[in-house]
Amino acid sequence: MDAFGADADSETVTYEPIGVKDLLSAMKDSSELIVDLAYSALLHNSENLAEEVLQLEQQMDLLQLQARMNMLMATRNPDDARQLAPVLGIIGAAEKISDAAGDIAGLVLGEETLPGSIQTALPEAIEVLERATVDEDSIYAAKTLGEINLETETGVRVIGIRGENGWELDPDSESRLDVGDSLLLRGDEDSVAEVYQRITTERYEQPEATEAEFGNLERAVDTIVLMKNVSELAVDLAYASVLFDDQELAEEVNSLEVEVDSLHSRLEAWALQAAADVDDPVSLRGLLRLASSSELISDAALEITEGILRDIDTHPVIAESVRESDVAVRRAELGPNSSLAGRTVGTILDETPGVSIIAIHEADGEWIFYPDGEETVAAGDVLIVRGTWNATEQLLETAA
């Protein structure tokens, strides 16, 4: 997709006749990426990643203003207003997600402190995401992603490139890596370390392990990890529900938002009880701020689905903007005769390249987030899958 955000630092934002579809697509990709970046910055205690979050937040501010201007220009009659009202909701929700991610980045940049348990617990919750700047001596300099075939050769995906013209999200095989570009890498830690060294010509420094606290504080940290997983999933499902005008997906988002509210209340209770166990109770303020940011993300996800839940016809521009993304999130329910029932996640993924299972909603109502390869699925389970459009469509056909 095209790069946006070259003028994100400008004080004056003027109207530009940019298609609402393109603006919404850019906001969707940016809001999904910024949540990943924020939690990864927290995991690694990485100021570099946190600064990228703030850069992307500036871009989101510009995008939402341009989108609102173009929306006003597109509204000509009451029918337009009714159909475009949910679009304004999506624009506002994406901005809230961006603001919440910026608050999480602020924790890394020293505005608040966090218990060491956060860095200990989060590695189990998310993939490694790292920033690498292309060095002039890099073997990848001045080459396209297609030429180096990075993902196929190493398993590491470049999910964003920030160059002199701003961000390029979801780069494709034609995307060129120029000296000085900042790349966002996703993959397992060993592979990311190897690719990082090829790009920067510097050794990758893995984050140091932090000793965990126990008791009430440990329970509080477990709760925040669960809030993180649920709120991230809610954003993915919200955009998917909009694309497919899917009431069931929207209701899943609603139930996830209720779960986050419950977790937030539980977290506050654990944190208050933990105040007696730590040397500096003020340090728990950062934990509460992190919880509030996670709750705001899930609240914003629910706002994205508001048009569907209120049975307002989806404007075509919404579905078109979501479909512009190279990555799809789908809901696959295993029927009673599904060939996938009784199989492990690892087996399913081996037979469906290009797909990852990010969550399982079991028939008894329990959620399993980021299941490992040994997890077995059963008839009645709902798989939440992410991947290319063709690969996810293939899995949906198999699941029936």
What CATH number did the domain enclosing 365 receive? 3.30.70.1450
- Whether 360 is in a domain gets the answer yes
* pTM as predicted: 0.69
In the chain, the largest separation of any two C-alpha atoms, in whole Å, equals 61
Question: What's residue 137's pLDDT?
Answer: 94
Report CA dihedral (92, 97, 98, 100) to the nearest 10 degrees: 120
Closest CA to 198 of 159, 127, 141, 160: 141
Question: What's residue 133's pLDDT?
Answer: 93
Q: How many structural domains does the chain have?
A: 1
For 359, the domain range is 327-399
- What does the angle CA 381 – CA 382 – CA 385 come to, to the nearest 5 degrees? 135
CA–CA separation, 143 and 68 (whole Å): 37
- Whether 370 is in a domain gets the answer yes
Q: Which residues pair with 328 in a beta bridge?
A: 387
Question: What's residue 199's pLDDT?
Answer: 95
CA–CA separation, 118 and 286 (whole Å): 11
Tens-binned pLDDT, residue by residue, of the chain (400 aa): 444 444 444 455 555 555 666 777 777 778 888 887 887 787 667 788 888 899 888 888 888 888 887 777 766 777 767 767 777 888 888 889 999 999 988 888 875 666 555 555 544 444 567 889 999 999 999 999 989 988 778 878 888 888 887 778 778 788 899 999 999 888 777 888 899 999 999 988 765 544 444 455 666 667 777 888 888 888 888 888 877 777 888 888 898 899 888 888 887 877 777 777 777 777 677 778 888 888 899 999 998 888 788 776 666 666 565 566 666 788 888 988 898 999 998 888 888 877 888 889 888 888 888 787 889 999 999 998 888 778 888 888 888 7
CA–CA separation, 115 and 272 (whole Å): 14
CA–CA separation, 63 and 169 (whole Å): 14
